[in-house]
């Protein structure tokens, strides 16, 4: 194998690695967005649970509020 073949193989390898890196980067961005969406959903659920819990406690202490 000549030097030009080695250079060509190295360049081909670099291009393949760059492509793989770009795909991994996109996948990571997508996963990060999903994590952020789920975090927001959990925060909303926690808020609803806290509101419902405090409402139930107030109703037990002082009867129903109207």
Q: How confident is the model at residue 1 (pLDDT cuts 50, 70, 90)?
A: low
For residue 62, what pLDDT is reported? 85
For residue 40, what pLDDT is reported? 98
- Residue 59: partners with Cβ closer than 8 Å, 6 or more residues away: 65
Q: Which of 30, 3, 26, 5 is nearest to 18 (CA)?
A: 26
Mean pLDDT, rounded, for 2-14: 95
Write the pLDDT tens digit of every residue in 9-62: 999 999 999 999 999 999 999 999 999 999 999 999 999 999 999 999 988 888
The pTM of this model reads 0.65
Q: What are phi and psi of 36, to 5 degrees?
A: -65, -40
């Amino acid at each position: 194998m000549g030097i030009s073949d080695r250079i060509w193989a190295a360049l081909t390898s670099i291009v393949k690695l760059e492509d793989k890196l770009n795909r991994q980067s996109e996948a990571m961005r997508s996963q990060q967005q999903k994590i952020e969406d789920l975090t927001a959903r959990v925060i909303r659920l926690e808020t609803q649970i806290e509101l419902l819990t405090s409402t139930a406690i107030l109703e037990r202490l002082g009867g129903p509020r109207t």
